[in-house]
């Protein structure tokens, strides 16, 4: 395995490939993303440990969605079982993915615990004390959310490529975090452009909905369309993650190299 440095413009290519690949298998890729969201929502409802379980499955689910994107690039229909690819690759990868999931959950829970100490208000309150809409609009609550987002950024970077490195390259969980961080830092320009590209996509999609609502004179239409559209765009984003990994590392195993995307 060798780190591959890419140009900043590659970030836009990743966005384009994610969208193109999604439309090769839109029903399968969106369906898999909805399944993941549904499973995570159900896990979050488990008393006492629900939030831990929901967070712990994120690395494995991310890998599953990346594997689904890989299947789509090959012209195959990703089956639901692809979501559990991380748990079907052997005991070594299974153990490593479970460790990675535990580390991810621990890091996210640490952010949830530390953010209130910094801001004086929980960034992600839950349960009976969940915030009202009025509270969420207060500057104090918004500061708390912003603090949590800033603290989460380095977590996102170290876990960005980690599930794929563990699964496809057999890297240990700790080393995968290190390699992921190095890859993200060295290719920061491309990732920045990648992020900007998706912000632009989300912005124009929201603008289209706003225009439709304005032309029809029905705000309810915008409210009805917003959630499904957001989930579809999130599915496209998750599809594009595969390409950020594929192009960031050379000496790729043969089973990871997809067919060329036109």
**Would you write out the chain's pLDDT as a tens digit for each of its 262 residues?**
789 999 999 999 999 999 999 999 999 999 999 999 999 999 999 998 999 999 999 999 999 999 999 999 999 999 999 999 988 878 888 899 999 999 999 999 998 888 777 776 644 444 444 555 666 666 667 777 888 889 999 999 999 999 999 999 989 999 999 999 999 999 999 999 999 999 999 999 888 888 887 777 777 777 777 888 888 999 999 999 999 999 999 865 544 544 443 3
Contact 195, 189 (CB under 8 A): no
The answer to whether position 119 is within a domain reads yes
Which domain, by its residues, includes 233? 15-253
The answer to whether position 155 is within a domain reads yes
Q: Which positions ≥6 away from 34 have C-beta within 8 Å? A: 231, 235
Calpha distance 216→65 (Å, rounded)? 36
The answer to whether position 237 is within a domain reads yes
What is the value of pTM for the model shown? 0.85
Q: Supply 145's token pair.
A: 């959310």
The answer to whether position 3 is within a domain reads no
CA-wise closest residue to 73 among 21, 135, 31, 118 = 21
Integer-rounded Cα radius of gyration of the chain = 19
Domain count, the chain: 1
For residues 71-103, one letter each, b for 16 or more C-beta atoms within 10 angstroms of the residue's C-beta and e for the rest, the string is bbbeeeebeeebbebbeebeeebeebbbbbbeb
The answer to whether position 6 is within a domain reads no
The answer to whether position 196 is within a domain reads yes
The answer to whether position 134 is within a domain reads yes
The answer to whether position 262 is within a domain reads no
Calpha distance 83→16 (Å, rounded)? 23
């Amino acid at each position: 395995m060798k780190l591959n440095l890419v140009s900043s413009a590659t970030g836009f290519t990743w966005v384009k490939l994610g969208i193109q690949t999604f439309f090769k298998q839109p029903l399968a890729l969106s369906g898999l993303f909805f399944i993941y969201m549904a499973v995570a929502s159900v896990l979050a409802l488990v008393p006492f440990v629900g939030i831990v379980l929901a967070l712990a499955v994120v690395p494995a689910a991310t890998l599953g969605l990346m594997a689904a994107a890989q299947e789509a690039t090959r012209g195959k229909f990703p089956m639901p079982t692809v979501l559990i690819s991380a748990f079907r690759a052997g005991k070594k990868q299974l153990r490593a993915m479970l460790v990675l999931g535990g580390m991810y959950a621990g890091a996210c829970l640490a952010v949830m615990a530390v953010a209130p100490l910094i801001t004086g208000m929980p960034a992600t309150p839950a349960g009976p004390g969940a915030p009202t809409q009025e509270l969420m609009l207060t500057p104090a609550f918004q500061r708390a959310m912003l603090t949590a987002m800033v603290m989460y950024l380095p977590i996102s970077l170290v876990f960005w490529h980690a599930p794929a490195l563990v699964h496809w390259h057999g890297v240990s969980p700790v080393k995968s975090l290190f390699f992921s961080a190095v890859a993200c830092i060295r290719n920061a320009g491309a990732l920045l452009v990648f992020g900007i590209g998706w912000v632009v996509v989300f912005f124009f999609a929201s603008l289209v909905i706003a225009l439709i609502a304005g032309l029809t004179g029905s705000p309810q239409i915008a409210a009805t369309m917003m959630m499904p559209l957001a989930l579809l765009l999130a599915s496209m984003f998750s599809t594009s993650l595969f390409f950020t990994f594929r192009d960031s590392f050379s000496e790729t195993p043969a089973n990871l190299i997809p067919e060329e995307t036109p």
